[in-house]
Every structure is written in C-alpha cells, then in structure tokens.
Amino acid sequence: MSRPDRTIGVALDYSASSKYALKWAVDNLLRQHDQLTVLIVHKEFNTEDSQYILFGKYGSQLIPLAEEEEPGTQRRYNLKQDEEVQSYLKEAVTAKKATVVFKVYWGDPKENICKSVNDVPLDFLVMGCRGLSALKRTFMGSVSNYVSNSVPCPVTIVKLPPNMSS
C-alpha cells in the first residue's frame, strides 16, 4: 500500500457532535487518496480485557475498515455498529477513494487523542465539541480545547449546528 497524500484524524465517541465532525471531515476536508483515521478512546474499560492488556499503553494497531465491520472485531475492541457512521465511512472510500482505518485507545481522551497525532502520525485532526457553557468548561475541562492547544498539527473543532442540537 502506498503512503497516503495526507492522514486526517477524526476523534469519534459516537455522540451527535462527533458524528457530525466525521461527516464534516468527509465532506469538506478529505481529498482523493487521503487516509482517514478514526480515533476511538474508551474512557471506561476493564483492565483485564485482552485488547487492553495487549495494546493499552500504545493503542491498537491500525484496523482497516473492512476488518472493523466484522462482528468479532467490533466485540474485541468494543466498537459500536452505527449505520450513520458506516455511511460516512463508505462515502469516504467510494467518493474520495480514501483509505479508512481505526485506532483504538484506552484511558483519558485528552491524553490519548494528543498521543495519536504522533503515533499515527496525523497531518490534521477534526473533533466535535460538547457545547459546554464557559462555567462548565472551567470546572469540567474541554477535551477539544486541551487538544487544540497541545498538538503540533492543525485542529478543526466542528460545532453541531443549532438545528441538530438536543
């Protein structure tokens, strides 16, 4: 497999805002022959899980889309079967001729998303945001704010449009 032109990372937690960020990345950023790397971080996990024992410190190997779609792989890595996400990824493959892979991490989302920029490595990162108020961001912290100020690559934070907010 030849090296992709660019490697675009999208942080996905299956929330409405992260799915919208994935759609936005496919529609607006992804170009022909890029690699789209979907980053999954399991904040809560069992430390005795075999995949965590194998890959917990460094994250999983890159999982190709075809392998990610297999029920056994989804079960091993605790990946969700989400038709909306799958349709965006299929569009990336068919319309953009992109390569789609997954990278799974366990632990703190902020730290692991930052780590992925160097691990993969990523040329660009796209994230959704939860839309917290300034007060909640102060007390709870913002993953997107932390990541955008900590990584060396460009980061785009995609807001969920008001008509899609709950």
Tens digit of pLDDT for each residue in 129-156? Answer: 875 555 555 554 689 989 999 999 999 9
Task: For residue 143, give the H/E element and its range.
Answer: helix 143-148
**Average pLDDT taken over every residue of the chain:** 90
Residue 131 confidence (pLDDT): 57
Burial class (CB in 10 A: 0-12, 13-18, 19+), 141: exposed
Q: What is the CATH number of domain 7-164?
A: 3.40.50.620
* Model pLDDT, residue 164: 79
Q: What is the pLDDT of residues 40-52, one digit of tens each?
A: 999 988 888 889 8
Q: How do the domains of the chain map onto residue ranges?
A: 7-164
The closest alpha carbon to 144, from 9, 8, 11, 7, belongs to 11
What integer pLDDT is reported at residue 140 of this predicted model? 47
Average pLDDT over residues 73-92: 95
